[in-house]
Amino acid sequence: MLTIDILTLFPGMFPGVLGDSILGRAQERGLVAFGVHDIRAWTTDKHHVTDDAPYGGGAGMVMKPEPVVAAIEAVRSHHGGTAGPVIFLSPQGRRFDHARAQRLASLPQFTLLCGRYEGVDERVFLGGWVDEELSVGDFVLTGGEIAAMAVCDAVVRLVPGVLGNQDSAPNDSFASGLLDHPHYTRPEEFRGLGVPEVLRGGHHAMIDEWRRREALRRTLARRPDLLDRAGLSDKDREILREIQGQEAQQQ
């Protein structure tokens, strides 16, 4: 079972997301457990203060190191030898991607630290209490909570047994290095738009070929940067040249 601990100043943000849909069912089936911890529980003053003004002046407040480190140490102590990495959600971190989600899904436990305000006192990092920083994109959120939810969702669906159909995750966008192919369902025609003939023919080899071609086409159009590291076959490259040739004729 995978255990994900979350350290936050706003624990009330999590029950709805973690308790519903796939994440909720994963908990019910004993495949994953979440521990949401209020950092204020580790303050020592009567007002439960977790932030203070920055040294040197400037706008905003900074999360104090004492309660953050105490919370991290408590979680690590609880898990003992199975304690995994402590990850700070930050726009300054490395980009979170499918490969990192797979790595986290293979662990017995990891901890997500949600920042707020102008961030966390740098000594939390200098002292080695945080193992890595992850970013969910090149934008700034009001805190790390929404980013932590995204990480939880991306990771948990990769835990074996979580998805009803185990073929779903390997076929997702980014799992193969490409964006996903288009999907269709009933009705066969909707407001003059039909389902591609190949998908209605029942020829599985032709369907697989169509899906691969469309995944390549979509990736080329929307995220061509992914193609450089997608591990393309000679057949894939041939298909891409055909697509590029077709598009050049249409221009």
Q: Are residues 178 and 139 in the same domain?
A: no
Boundary (domain end) residue, out of 156, 184, 199: 156
Q: Which domain holds residue 239?
A: 173-250
Q: pLDDT tens, position by position, for the chain (251 residues)?
A: 999 999 999 999 999 999 999 999 999 999 999 999 999 999 999 999 999 999 999 999 999 999 999 999 999 999 999 999 999 999 999 999 999 999 999 999 999 999 999 999 999 999 999 999 999 999 999 999 999 999 999 999 999 999 976 666 665 656 678 999 999 999 999 999 999 999 999 999 999 999 999 999 999 999 999 999 899 999 999 999 999 999 888 88
- Determine the Cα–Cα distance for residues 157 and 80; give it in Å rounded to an integer: 26
Q: Are residues 91 and 180 in the same domain?
A: no
Decide if 94 is inside a domain. Answer: yes
The CATH number covering residue 243 comes to 1.10.1270.20
The CATH number covering residue 70 comes to 3.40.1280.10
Q: Are residues 146 and 197 in the same domain?
A: no
Decide if 61 is inside a domain. Answer: yes
Beta-sheet strands, E only, within 132-206: 132-135, 189-190, 193-194
Boundary (domain end) residue, out of 93, 122, 156: 156
Q: Are residues 19 and 138 in the same domain?
A: yes
Q: Give φ, ψ of 4 to 5 degrees.
A: -115, 115
The residues annotated as belonging to the active site are 91, 118, 157, 172
Domain count of the chain?
2
